[in-house]
Amino acid sequence: MCLPQSAERETAEDNPSSKTGHRDRKICPARGPILPGHSLLHHLHTHCLLSLSAPGGVSLTVPQPNINATVAQNILLSVEYYCRGVATVEWKHVSSWGTTRIVEWKSGNYVNISAVYKDRVTIFENGSIELRNVGMRDAGYYLVTVTEEYGTNTYGAIIVNVYEIIYEDIHFVAVLFAFLAAVSAILICFMWLCNKSLHLFQKTTHKLSASTTEEIELETIEC
């Protein structure tokens, strides 16, 4: 608080060596407008509230934690996050072959996609990613980490199962069935030929036996 002019004169007389400029700076060191007591308290209170509420945390929602896909299909790993500031999103793939970082990005700042997934990944502002042309090695756990600028982070996971395309299995079964049918037909023909040969052999043997018997009877009569 500044002193009145009479007080300034008394102070100057007590200390003659003080200059006018120095006296002003000594008596009124504060420059600029002085806030009333209520306004100052309100300003400090508001500042404290902003400091406490700024690092309010980050939330993450995973609507579909399990995904079943077939080979060569495109899948959407859907999530949605909310935070007060700018967040960093990171996706990783964990499987029996190891852990691979897919992509990391900061909204409006940078995007870093792994070379393995360079042409297969599309990112979305809500934290989701699309993975194109999946294979059997893409099965496993997909972990997403969302970190806000104040250091608070949260995690989510999606399980992806990848299966062979159904029509390939049907094609394999059809080919196998055709092969077995062909083998069966060949075996049936072979058995038929064997039966005919056996029947012909028996018939020929019977004729020979009958012919031999007639010859023996004729010889006996002649004797």
Residue 184 and residue 118 share a domain: no
Closest CA relative to residue 167, chosen from 101, 71, 86 = 71
Q: Which pLDDT tens digit goes with each residue over 19-66?
A: 344 333 333 333 333 333 333 333 323 333 322 333 457 999 999 999
Has residue 86 got a pLDDT over 80?
yes
What mean pLDDT is predicted for residues 159-172? 82
Has residue 150 got a pLDDT over 60?
yes
How buried is residue 45: exposed, middle or buried, by Cβ count under 10 Å (0-12/13-18/19+)?
Answer: exposed
Residue 86 and residue 129 share a domain: yes
pLDDT reported for residue 214: 64
Residue 32 and residue 86 share a domain: no
Residue 44 and residue 10 share a domain: yes
Q: Which of 53, 71, 88 is the last residue of a domain?
A: 53
Has residue 128 got a pLDDT over 70?
yes
Q: Give me the chain's average pLDDT, please.
A: 76
CB 113 within 8 A of CB 103: yes
Residue 111 and residue 33 share a domain: no
Residue 135 and residue 66 share a domain: yes
Residue 63 and residue 160 share a domain: yes
Residue 67 and residue 151 share a domain: yes
Q: Which pLDDT tens digit goes with each residue over 179-219?
A: 999 999 999 999 999 988 888 888 888 777 777 776 666 66
Number of domains within the chain: 3
**CA separation for the pair 143, 161 (Å, rounded):** 15
**CA separation for the pair 152, 53 (Å, rounded):** 13
> What CATH number did the domain enclosing 148 receive?
2.60.40.10
CA distances from residue 136 to 23, 100, 159, 165 in whole angstroms, order as listed: 84, 15, 13, 11
Residue 64 and residue 45 share a domain: no
pLDDT reported for residue 56: 55
Residue 69 and residue 40 share a domain: no
pLDDT reported for residue 223: 63
Sign for the CA dihedral angle at 65, 70, 72, 73 comes to negative
Residue 160 and residue 123 share a domain: yes
Q: Enumerate the β-bridge partners of residue 69.
A: 162
What domain range includes position 129? 58-164
Residue 197 and residue 132 share a domain: no
E strands, the chain, are 58-61, 66-70, 75-77, 80-83, 87-95, 98-106, 110-113, 121-123, 129-131, 140-148, 153-163
pLDDT reported for residue 219: 65
